[in-house]
Amino acid sequence: MVLGIDCSRYLAEKPTGVEVYTDRLLDRLIPQADTLGYEEVRLYVKTVKQLEKCLFLIEESKLNNVQVRLIDHGRLWTLLWLSWEMIWRPVGKLFVPSHAMPLFFSKGSVLTVHGVEALRFPQAYSWFQRWYQSWMLKRAVRKGTEFIAVSEAVKGDVVEILGVKEKGVRVVWNGVDREGNSKFNSAASARVKIQNLKISGDYVLSVGRLEERKNQLRLVEAFEVIGEEFHELKLVLVGGDGVNADLVKSKIQNSKFKNRIQVMGHQEREVVQVLMEKAAVFAYPSLAEGFGIPILEAFLARCPVLTSIGSACEEIGGGAAVYCDPMSVDSIAEGLKKLLMDKQLRDQKVRDGKKRVDLFSWDRCVEETVKVLNA
């Protein structure tokens, strides 16, 4: 049987959680492709950068049964061009690690679902995103697709919303990068960049696209609630623009504490990690998350975490985080205040986070994924 792997989200310039997952998974999965038990493995890429990296891994690992197909088209790559490839050069099983299936694929293919937020929070997505996620997932169910869910929370959504039987969904947690700032030059460069951005003093850090689902609107309001009491505290928001990012920016511009709120846009991981190391609190009061890698990154950075009840945040944070109701500004403000005022609590959560993060490993993620591919 031939196994096809969709590598279209590999090596993204500005990776979010899905792209980080794809990178870490493929970096470990491709070198062991000869051991997967398939007569051939085909890697589908859409950029020369992806092609060169895959060829490097094939050569370095001395793989004999791996081929790379460059599908050099931008728009509708999955919906149209990967579908065309599946028609003319079908595979026995297609593995898609980035939650978007083509029009045509074989029965028994494997799809990783990172969340169904477009169905849970349709107001935060375009009509096309809502339609495509709904249509694609329901079609995948009809075609007997095997699902990997990145958390129990996502599995629950897939079972509830799509009517998939529980045995058809395997939970495989993401891992977390542990090397982070071990490279001195990267860490030093990140610290210089932060100095140039003039970030100093105590601050609450939030990382995520500026959009309704990430809940920066209520976080800004909560910051305003505690702003008078913590009169030197700042709020730092890191992340590119998402749907309705202008609403978040307008909220900040009209805030009486706008001079203490800094919007940094997308930043490299080394910069984010150093920001976490220096933050007083990492605030992640998202309305819905399929996993929440930043929670684990904050644990690694020894930064106390405030995150949301519900979705996957509780599952990932366990007892190592402080929780709030993401729909309540007062609850978010109370959680921030509790962590800012109670050093003993902060220290305890840092210790708990250090232990908690040991449960998450990219090597374990790949090992469990291989079991699904070989089932």
At the fourth CATH level, the homologous superfamily of domain 2-175+361-373 is Glycogen Phosphorylase B; (3.40.50.2000)
pLDDT band for 181, please (50, 70, 90 cuts). Answer: very low
Q: Within 13 A of 293's CA, how many CA atoms are on the CB side?
A: 21
β-pair partners for 324: 308
Asked if residue 184 has pLDDT above 70, the reply is no
Q: Where are the domains positioned within the chain?
A: 2-175+361-373, 180-359
Across residues 240-269, what is the average pLDDT? 92
Share of the chain above pLDDT 90, in %: 79
pLDDT in tens, 68-89: 999 998 888 998 999 999 999 9
Tens digits of residue pLDDT in 102-137 = 999 999 999 999 998 888 878 777 788 888 888 889
Residue 75, pLDDT score: 84
Q: Amino acid identity of 168?
A: G
- How distant is the alpha carbon of residue 323 from its chain centre? 20
Query: Which CATH class name applies to 180-359?
Result: alpha beta
The confidence score (pLDDT) of residue 182 equals 42
Is 163 exposed, middle or buried, given 0-12, 13-18 or 19+ CB atoms closer than 10 A? exposed
Could you read off the pLDDT of 266-314 as tens digits, one per residue? 988 888 999 999 999 999 999 999 999 999 999 999 999 999 998 899 9
Residues belonging to the chain: 375
Mean pLDDT over 179-198 rounds to 57
Element (H, E) at 148: strand 146-149
Question: Is residue 271 packed enough to be buried (19+ CB in 10 Å), middle (13-18) or exposed (0-12)?
Answer: buried
- Residue 198, pLDDT above cutoff 80: no
Q: Using CA atoms, how far apart are residues 104 and 36, in angstroms rounded to an integer?
A: 23
Residue given tokens 């840092």 in the structure block? 350
